[in-house]
Amino acid sequence: MSATLSRHWPAPAKLNLFLHVNGRRSDGYHELQTLFQFIDYSDMLDFKVTANPELILHSNMGNLVADSDNLILRAAKSLQQQTGFGGGAEIWLDKRLPMGGGLGGGSSDAATTLVALNALWNTQLSPEELAAIGLKLGADIPVFIHGFAAFAEGVGERLQAVSPDEPWYLVIVPDAHVSTAAIFQDPLLPRNTPKLAIDSLMNQPWGNDCQNLVASQYPQVAKALGWLLEYAPSRMTGTGACVFGEFPQQQQALAALAKLPSDMQGFIAKGMNISPLITRRNHP
């Protein structure tokens, strides 16, 4: 059993290029249609396999998330229990993605943990088996495990690979932490967007059914959207708070970033239809 450090496992952000809420199910979850694409902006994780079963997480987040709620530790524990693996791991997280931003950072961290430890522990689960573990922890985790841009239905677990354009994005990170649960429980959330076939959805203007509600509650989000729309087609991702604008060329995105008001934060990233985690998985 190797005790060497396995470094630089990426946990990339995702954007919801569109997000439609089609209805509420009897279990309280919502039927969605959405399009996931990765961007080349990631948290980074390092792993060390240990002989004892303890799971230890070091991160630069401080105590923002209790260990019992931390998706990284819950994912590692779930893989241990599913496979009967007797060892453990020490894990280091370099957190770069904002929390509560709609970029999927927590889900991506959990997915990377499952993919990396499956390789390093040699537990040999298939991506489908890992995705089944991940789905119990969060609806967005399977898309990060499979690692391809995807049209998603259901609660986000039914995935179909797609190949949208891979533009450059300017992502603005408003100073707001939006609760996904609160947005989906809000009575003012639209829940009646008709379900459409993927061909129709890919060839019409894209939108986000959560955007107007979030913008009405978070002035920072509304302000960021208002500014970004002056430069490019722009939307909110997920339930927010991050908003993104699409640019055909990197230079155009950089030019807009240079004009970003001093009270806003943002970054440039490239759209990716194949996750960098897949490349890393193939070279453990």
pLDDT at 28: 82
Residues near 117 by beta carbon (within 8 Å), at least 6 away in sequence: 47, 76, 79, 89, 123
Residues near 55 by beta carbon (within 8 Å), at least 6 away in sequence: 73, 76, 77, 80, 88, 89, 91
In angstroms, rounded to a whole number, what is the distance separating the alpha carbons of residues 251 and 232? 13
In angstroms, rounded to a whole number, what is the distance separating the alpha carbons of residues 106 and 102? 10
Residues near 153 by beta carbon (within 8 Å), at least 6 away in sequence: 31, 32, 33, 195
pLDDT at 127: 96
pLDDT at 212: 97
What residues act catalytically? 14, 140
Residue with tokens 């300017």: 170
How many other CB atoms are there within 10 angstroms of residue 150's CB atom? 22
In angstroms, rounded to a whole number, what is the distance separating the alpha carbons of residues 281 and 284? 6
The pLDDT tens digits for 22-38 are 999 888 889 999 999 99
Is the pLDDT reported for residue 283 higher than 90?
no
For the chain, give percent helix, strand, coil, nearest 5.
Answer: 30, 30, 40
The class that CATH gives domain 1-284 is alpha beta
Residues near 203 by beta carbon (within 8 Å), at least 6 away in sequence: none
Q: Side-chain half-sphere of 268: how many Cα atoms within 13 Å?
A: 16
In angstroms, rounded to a whole number, what is the distance separating the alpha carbons of residues 175 and 155? 27
In angstroms, rounded to a whole number, what is the distance separating the alpha carbons of residues 41 and 78? 27
Q: How do the domains of the chain map onto residue ranges?
A: 1-284
The pLDDT tens digits for 255-279 are 999 999 999 999 999 999 999 999 9
105: which 2 tokens?
């950072």
Residues near 164 by beta carbon (within 8 Å), at least 6 away in sequence: 17, 35, 37, 149, 202, 271, 273
The pLDDT tens digits for 164-207 are 999 999 999 999 999 989 999 999 999 999 999 999 999 999 99
The pLDDT tens digits for 67-109 are 666 999 999 999 999 999 999 999 999 999 988 899 999 999 9
